[in-house]
Homo-oligomer: A and B are copies of this chain.
Amino acid sequence: MTTSAKLAEQRLAEQKLYEDFAVEHMVPLWTQIGNLMPATPAPAAVPHVWRWSVLYPLAERAGQLIPVGRGGERRAISLANPGFKGLPYATPTLWAAIQYLGPREEAPEHRHSQNAFRFVIEGEGVWTVVDGDPVAMRRGDFLLTPGWAFHGHQNVTDQPMAWLDGLDIPFVHLTDSAFFELGPDALSSRETPERSRSERLWAHPGLRPLSSFGTSSFGAQHPKSPLAAYRWEHTDAALRAQLELEDEGYPGVVEPGHAAVRFTSPATGGDVMPTIRAEFHRLRPGAATQTRREVGSSVFQVFQGSGVAEVSGIEHELGHGDLIVVPSWSAFQFAAGSSGVDLFRFSDTPIFERLHQDRVQIGA
């Protein structure tokens, strides 16, 4: 047989083999390894900016057209990463959405294994009821509804209110760990207290209710933060203090001109929920962060001020309420505009740290 005949025969045999693989539900590694096992993470997700000035009017239109209630459950519109061809995911693990509640509207109670938080970019007047505890939502507040806590919302004002929802929906969907249960149709509480019961028990620095330790030697477990609300006045004060300490020559900031806090559980000092990390960053006017790469993906929202995010070498101007997604291992840097910038951030980093898959690279 000639060489070319042999080659042709080999090709045929290979083709037949691949066909037989397919019939038996098998796939060879050697044709896929480049895609499956890249040298460094090769996200399908892309860096992308969503403008608050676009999001809010769309949410408003939804408020006029779409009722909120049982079935649809929430008037939330998610950021769909352009890299995912229509999937409603900001990143492969994280969901980010704008939720909109019209005047006097209510969203009914339910619970799910997905961990959730709200961050309030502006407005007030909604109470979210978490396991029966009404929690006021106000500008700058960070609010938790950890997995399997019943929750519903009510707007007690004549004004609409919109905020950012963050969840681990994609991660939970991907890993087939989703549970969902409807609650009672009526909200379990219509009270509108200034402070939730959770805060009254837990929002005292370094002080834990003795009843929270349980009766065993090892104490009750608190995998999720028992504190439902992190108020803007505290976040702002903590950031201000770091910058003042920097002015006085003392440690506290992360790097020059960059103050930051992580939202943590007062029961553990660790992340508020097992899959989601949340932080607040403040850059002085003109300050910039070091360039970093991290395993895991993040969503940033500008709370106030403005700045420039450079992600994978592309600069994006960001103003009030704008959101940007940073995919895994993409180099990113933030620089503040002339009045500084306040950034809310959430990420899936706890997943990687808990599974020892985390890496960070600092510098370009």
Contacts and interface: CB of A to CB of B under 8 A. Distances in A.
Contact of A77 (B21, B203, B204, B348): B21
Nearest to A353: B217
Interface in A242-277: 242, 244-245, 250-254, 260-269, 272, 274-275
Interface stretch (A40-48, A121-129, A152-160, A314-322): A40-48
Most chain B CB within 10 A, of A97, A242, A261, A329, is at: A261
A147 B177 contact: no
Nearest to A20: B58
A316 to B, nearest CB: 14
Interface stretch (A60-68, A300-308, A336-344): A60-68
26 contacts: A13-B65, A17-B58, A24-B54, A29-B75, A29-B97, A30-B72, A30-B74, A36-B169, A36-B178, A41-B176, A175-B351, A197-B250, A200-B252, A201-B242, A204-B241, A206-B264, A206-B265, A207-B230, A207-B238, A208-B264, A209-B261, A210-B254, A211-B260, A217-B353, A224-B356, A350-B355
Interface of A: 10, 13-14, 17, 20-22, 24-33, 36-43, 45, 48, 50, 54-55, 58, 61-62, 65-66, 71-82, 86-88, 92-93, 97, 112-114, 147, 169, 171-181, 197, 199-211, 213, 215, 217-218, 221-225, 227, 230, 234-235, 237-238, 241-242, 244-245, 250-254, 260-269, 272, 274-275, 279, 281, 295-297, 327-329, 348, 350-360
